[in-house]
Amino acid sequence: MTAGSRLPFGGLRVVLVAAFNRRYHRSGLALAAALTSLGCEVRRCEERRRGWNSIFGRPLVSRLAADLRHESADVVLVFKGTHLPPADVGELRGRFGGRWVNWFPDDPHDHETSTRLAPAYDCFFTHDSASLARHRATGARPHYLAFGCDPEYLRPPPLPRDARWTAPLVFVGSRDDVREPVLRALGDVGLVAWGPGWPLGPVYGEAFVSALAGAKVGVNVHQQFGDHGDPARYGTGANMRVFEIAAVGTPQLSDAKADIARHFTPDREIVLFRSVAELADRARVLLADDTLRRQLAVAARERALREHTWRHRLEELLTVTLR
């Protein structure tokens, strides 16, 4: 680390292991940019086999070892890390040193994977506070860290907006047997659904932003919410969409995950529901009140930019990791 740097982590050498793709995997690129903005010297290690690595069959562990052999790192940050077995993490930690960190985005619906990976790292971050006790029981060193947003990407599009994206309500996310009955309750009030499995299909890049921004209300339904969901895999953590909808400036209606209230004030920055009937009722109230929608949207976007960017999250992660 460079002495006397004015940036919080000036000169800190970080290897970031993630998927990097501007269309499908923007989180990796956003994390790299946030680390750079904090003064870190960032080296990216693509978790997937792409290009020559695919042709020559170079596994992630071999590529990561080669990178660290060439130049050491102060921190190795792995985002999810399903392609990096715990035994390999332990071997690489022993050989190359540094602080090894995992930020796992799929708790608790994939807790089998997270509990297998967590003990291998110096620090393990999860966005689901309900998962902390389970990770501690395995001998891991878990910490709560919410998702964030990329304000450079998630900007409200300029007016006038393309009529293609105009809708009373929008849901952007995967279709599954648990979510579909929940969203069916909004069929008579103008819900438009985008994502894998829905007739309109998925949206990426600028189309993703336009879909969220074009609706009067953004609907967020977390995995496993509803009568057909698995309570053990529902948890408390706010998904990434909570922060994305806020950042893009659309009023949000979300199921009441317990951790949401840590980051947005209910009924002032976000509207929450606890049942399908309450979802439908609150959707109708929002659609009928232009002033309320504007107030929610402005307050949530201001809060997101003030407290919930990826830079905010990475600063917290590095502070915890290095203390």
* CATH number of 171's domain: 3.40.50.2000
| Domain identity same for 291 and 316 | no
Read off the pLDDT of each residue in 14-26 and give the average, rounded to a whole number. Answer: 88
Rounded Cα distance, 46 and 54, in Å: 11
Read off the pLDDT of each residue in 168-186 and give the average, rounded to a whole number. Answer: 96
pLDDT band per the 50, 70, 90 thresholds, residue 72: very high
| Domain identity same for 184 and 303 | yes
Q: Is residue 8 assigned to a domain?
A: no
- Which structural domain, as residue segments, surrounds residue 115? 13-148+309-322
| Domain identity same for 271 and 257 | yes
pTM beyond 0.85: the answer is: yes
What is the per-residue pLDDT for 51?
61
Read off the pLDDT of each residue in 218-232 and give the average, rounded to a whole number. Answer: 96
What is the per-residue pLDDT for 57?
64
| Domain identity same for 184 and 93 | no
| Domain identity same for 173 and 295 | yes
Q: Is residue 144 assigned to a domain?
A: yes
CA atoms within 13 A on the CB side of 272: 18
What is the per-residue pLDDT for 50?
64
CA atoms within 13 A on the CB side of 17: 29
Domain count, the chain: 2
Q: Is residue 299 assigned to a domain?
A: yes
What is the per-residue pLDDT for 3?
47
Q: Is residue 123 assigned to a domain?
A: yes
Rounded Cα distance, 323 and 285, in Å: 47
| Domain identity same for 179 and 278 | yes
Rounded Cα distance, 67 and 44, in Å: 10
| Domain identity same for 195 and 318 | no
Rounded Cα distance, 32 and 70, in Å: 20
Sheet holding 252-255: strands in order across? 191-194, 167-172, 215-220, 252-255, 271-273
Q: Is residue 170 assigned to a domain?
A: yes
| Residue 58 confidence (pLDDT) above 90 | no
What are the Cα distances from residue 80, in Å, to 10, 71, 177, 208, 298? 25, 23, 25, 23, 32
Q: Is residue 153 assigned to a domain?
A: no
Q: Is residue 6 assigned to a domain?
A: no
| Domain identity same for 136 and 191 | no
| Domain identity same for 172 and 302 | yes
Q: Is residue 154 assigned to a domain?
A: no
Measure the N-to-C terminal CA separation of the chain; round to a whole number of Å.
Answer: 14
| Domain identity same for 28 and 131 | yes
| Residue 1 confidence (pLDDT) above 60 | no
| Domain identity same for 315 and 290 | no
| Residue 2 confidence (pLDDT) above 50 | no
Read off the pLDDT of each residue in 125-131 and give the average, rounded to a whole number. Answer: 98
Rounded Cα distance, 71 and 13, in Å: 9
| Domain identity same for 65 and 126 | yes
Measured CA angle at 30 (ends 25, 31), to 5 deg: 105
What is the per-residue pLDDT for 160?
75
